[in-house]
Structure 1
Amino acid sequence: MLVAADVGGTKTNLGIYELSGDIHSPVAKATLASAEYDSMISLVSEFLKDTGLNPEYAVFGVAGPVMESRSTITNLRWIIEENVLKKELGMKSVRLLNDLQAIAYGIADLEREDLFTLNQGRKTPHGAMAVIAPGTGLGEAYITQDESSRYAAHSSEGGHTDFGPTDALETRLLSHMFGQYEHVSYERVCSGIGIPNIYSFLRDKEGYEEPAWLFSRLSQSDDKTKTILTEAVNTSAPCELCSRTLEVFLSILGAEAGNLALKVMATGGVYLAGGIAPKIVSAFPESPFMKAFIGKGRLSHVLEHIPVNIILNPEIALMGAARFGLEHLCSSA
């Protein structure tokens, strides 16, 4: 058997799979609060103890870069190492994947209802695919396929590349951000941590009024991004400042998704993942996202034909970790 996990700073989704089983039908599954455990070993050990099962293989998708079979999850202060996990858990093999890699491997198992289509496009057989995932940060990855459609997912830290404005307002936003940060990446303006930066810029520099009730609500909120987005899509009582914040965010996201698509020639499609996009699906069709995605001058015609979808399935990273394990670790078992 195989144990797979999607490890995040807040929660960890786990599943156990038969080696010949169905990705959509794990033998056991659970979601645990990551911060309640002092290590990955203690979390996985408790899960396995509760299930009474003893898998021989493990794949864990982790929210952070994996280098030399090792990763650190900053929010948890966990140091995760493949060899240590293998020894302590008594397994034949343990692999760590970047969480975006795990999401990328899960794309092959998505059903039609798991996707919201923004651009139908024309998918090229065996074409590269791109994944961009605004959540707390901004994750990016890409997928290559061989002639038998076998996937290889590649991690990236593209969210930390330099933010490139596409209009006058975004240029002013960049100038404003340089007053706070030495380096302004896409993540600073296109993620959960970036949305409040756009909001404060529009309020402080662009003359958008912050209602007193919203100031009060944000002052008491532990998650300002969630509050801003909730009000941005509240059609019954629209807030101009929140709506404009969302509009700017989606324009920047569209532009960077288009950048990624061109860099890897993602003729197999672009997929939006992460915690934000599925929650604001209704805002995409009338937003500047696709205009910004396609607006690449002489190569705009290339972007017009690339399929773009939002991934709605919240277990995509768990599915991908399991898919990788079943194909790459257990194929000879």
Structure 2
Amino acid sequence: MAHPKNTYSLVADIGGTNTRVALAEGRRLVDGTIRRYANTQFPGLESVLRQYIEDEGGVDPIAACIAVAGPVREGRATMTNLDWAMDKDTLARATRAETVAILNDLQAQGHALGYIDPANIRTVLAGPDDRATAAKLVIGVGTGFNAAPVFDLDHGRVVTPSESGHANLPIRNELELRLCNYVSTAHGFPAVEDVLSGRGLERVYAFLGQEAEDPRELAAKDIMAALDDDTDPRAVAAAQLFTRILGTVCGNLALIQLPFGGVYLAGGVARAFAPHLGTFGFGEAFRDKGRFAGFMGNFAVHVIEDDYAALTGSAAHLVALTQG
């Protein structure tokens, strides 16, 4: 397919397993241009992007932005489970784009807010209406865990990065203390991500097996399948414990950031849990803040059900760069 030269932006979402790439016109993804590539089939980012450009008929983008599941500093991204060189020079060389940018994947999700089809936003906890420019918070629950606050200021949108998934896991009761000890024994440090992620759900399931003196392991997708068809009581118990801890952590982050514009959960695990959050106690745990329990009602909580939101956010960020 031939595309006009120097017209579209190239945007990519780089996860630990797959890289998704698309073309964008302004903030809109161009229909039919989203492609997915398995990272194991390529030696690095440059080869993936060059393959995409070839697959799209040698497209010559005017700008390019990648969203990376890892920290970004001074134009260079690092990932714990993918040994690729990802920096602005590599991105510019691979795409020949005049403007390039690299974002953390949660930053990209934050830049997408306001440009996602409302049909792809599921409300978990309702909150009071607030002005569109009120601070927001995106929390990613998927292969890992992270959060990014979103601020709409006079000079434009600012989405600040963090590594919230590597903070200590909070403890409220004896069961959660034993879970922390279990995770610490296996991984050396009881971090939020060790429980609140796809792998974390598997650890919660295994922990409950140890508690019951009936050790069993189950993959996260199989835990969710058993939960949906009600075939495994331990899957239900694991999901309930996971949900309560998720509510506690999200409530803590809301108090730290005061996102009166809403909390937005993103990522594959968040989407899988969305139908169950109401019945498994997410709201109760989220608002269980003592004398601040009533105050927690100021924060609506939503789930982003658009799997390509990071691509949209990358496109929106490029628009802000080129127009600003």
Q: TM-score w.r.t. structure 1 length?
A: 0.89
Corresponding residue for residue 240 of structure 2: 247
Q: How does 1:278-297 map to 2 (within 5 A)?
A: 278-297=271-290
Q: Equivalents in 2 of 1:41, 1:88: separation in Å?
A: 5
Q: CA deviation at 1:97?
A: 0.3
> What SS class does the counterpart of residue 58 from structure 1 fall into?
strand
Q: Equivalents in 2 of 1:73, 1:162: separation in Å?
A: 20
Q: Equivalents in 1 of 2:96, 2:125: separation in Å?
A: 46
Is the CA contact 1:251–1:287 (under 8 Å) kept in the aligned structure 2? yes
**Is 1:49 paired with 2:44?**
no
Q: How does 1:31-50 map to 2 (within 5 A)?
A: 31-50=36-55
Q: TM-score w.r.t. structure 2 length?
A: 0.91
> What SS class does the counterpart of residue 28 from structure 1 fall into?
coil
Q: Equivalents in 1 of 2:110, 2:56: separation in Å?
A: 28
Corresponding residue for residue 28 of structure 2: 23
Is the CA contact 1:162–1:185 (under 8 Å) kept in the aligned structure 2? yes
Q: How does 1:267-306 map to 2 (within 5 A)?
A: 267-306=260-299
Is the CA contact 1:11–1:33 (under 8 Å) kept in the aligned structure 2? yes
Q: Equivalents in 1 of 2:157, 2:91: separation in Å?
A: 26
Corresponding residue for residue 64 of structure 2: 58
Among residues 72, 77, 86, which one is paired with 2:83 in the alignment?
77
Q: How does 1:75-114 map to 2 (within 5 A)?
A: 75-114=81-120
Q: CA deviation at 1:93?
A: 2.0
Q: CA deviation at 1:24?
A: 4.4
Is the CA contact 2:13–2:20 (under 8 Å) kept in the aligned structure 1? yes
Which deviates further from its counterpart, 105-114 or 313-322? 105-114
Corresponding residue for residue 8 of structure 1: 15
Corresponding residue for residue 221 of structure 1: none
Unaligned 5+ runs, structure 2 = 1-7
Q: Equivalents in 1 of 2:193, 2:246: separation in Å?
A: 10
RMSD of aligned residue pairs (Cα, Å):
1.9
The one-letter code matched in structure 1 to 2:296 is L
> What SS class does the counterpart of residue 36 from structure 2 fall into?
strand
Is the CA contact 1:208–1:241 (under 8 Å) kept in the aligned structure 2? no
Q: Equivalents in 1 of 2:200, 2:73: separation in Å?
A: 26
The one-letter code matched in structure 2 to 1:199 is Y
Corresponding residue for residue 156 of structure 1: 162
Is the CA contact 2:61–2:97 (under 8 Å) kept in the aligned structure 1? yes
Corresponding residue for residue 144 of structure 1: 151
Q: CA deviation at 1:59?
A: 0.4
Q: How does 1:251-270 map to 2 (within 5 A)?
A: 251-270=244-263
Q: Equivalents in 2 of 1:209, 1:5: separation in Å?
A: 43
The one-letter code matched in structure 1 to 2:56 is T
Is the CA contact 2:111–2:159 (under 8 Å) kept in the aligned structure 1? yes
Q: Equivalents in 1 of 2:82, 2:165: separation in Å?
A: 21
Aligned length: 315
State the Cα deviation string for residues 89-114 of structure 1 (Å, max 9, x = none): 32212111000101111112122211
Cα gap change, 1:176 to 1:321, in 2 (>3 Å): same
Q: CA deviation at 1:88?
A: 4.2
Unaligned 5+ runs, structure 1 = 219-223
Q: Equivalents in 2 of 1:56, 1:16: separation in Å?
A: 11
Aligned sequence identity (%)? 29
Corresponding residue for residue 5 of structure 2: none
Q: Equivalents in 2 of 1:83, 1:178: separation in Å?
A: 39
**Is 1:331 paired with 2:313?**
no
Among residues 192, 201, 217, which one is paired with 2:207 in the alignment?
201
Corresponding residue for residue 321 of structure 1: 314
**Is 1:312 paired with 2:309?**
no
Which deviates further from its counterpart, 195-204 or 93-102? 195-204
Q: How does 1:116-135 map to 2 (within 5 A)?
A: 116-125=122-131, 126-135=133-142
Q: CA deviation at 1:174?
A: 1.7
Q: CA deviation at 1:17?
A: 2.1
